[in-house]
Amino acid sequence: MQRIALIVLAGWLLFCAWVAPAAAFLSPGDPAPDFQLADLNGRQVRLSDFAGRNILLVFGTSWCPACKSQIGTILKAGPLLQEKGVTVLEVYIKDDPNQITKYLADKQFPVPFHALLDDGRAQRGYRIQAIPRVVIIDRDFNIAHDGMKLSGKALAARISQLQAAPANTDGSANTIQGPPRPGQARRQPVQ
């Protein structure tokens, strides 16, 4: 009887480990849930501040090996991220700001990068159950991809599907980031 109970329990745990995270993913085309979090300098950053740009949103920690590997993959995709006008936001879940600062000290991101400290709002809004979690948000502020760690090839395929960043009148890529322009609507952050 105990053996059957252990087999049922093991089956349930495997089911939860593989199926439950998939049920938490947001669907392509869904509006991206907005949130506002502090960066490492204490400045409040709202996800919708980057509406109009392609966003690579990564949830993880500074100590998670798979998260470190995902950031390495992102760094290697630099030229494609630049071409598509991608801004990278990494949301650190239950992590120490000093550890994050040490971890990022030797990283050179070829695109705008923001490290954000989650207070639980983003984790709830995006239903994060496992890390690393990779969410790609298009220029229309809709979900283009939501899933677990991406290989370099899969990341390149997903990013390649995005529209390129609009060019400035002088032909250079638009790298302006930050709060929306006057009159530009903001989405309400996740509470």
- pLDDT by position in tens, the chain (length 191): 677 755 655 554 445 444 444 557 999 999 999 999 999 999 999 999 999 999 999 999 999 999 999 999 999 999 999 999 999 999 999 999 999 999 999 999 999 999 999 999 999 999 999 999 999 999 999 999 999 999 999 999 999 998 876 654 333 344 333 333 333 343 444 44
Give the three-class secondary structure for 134. Answer: strand
Environment class of residue 114 by beta-carbon count within 10 Å: exposed (0-12), middle (13-18) or buried (19+)? buried
Residue 132: cis peptide before it, omega within 30 degrees of 0: yes
Strand 44-46 with 36-39, pairing: antiparallel
Give the length of the chain: 191
Rg (CA), the chain: 18
Token pair belonging to 40: 């490492």
Residue entry with tokens 């009148």: 169
What CATH homologous superfamily does 28-160 map to? Answer: Glutaredoxin (3.40.30.10)
Tell me the backbone φ, ψ of residue 172, rounded to 5 degrees: -80, 160
Distance CA 122, CA 149 (A): 18
Q: What single DSSP character describes residue 47?
A: G
At 176, list the tokens: 């302006």
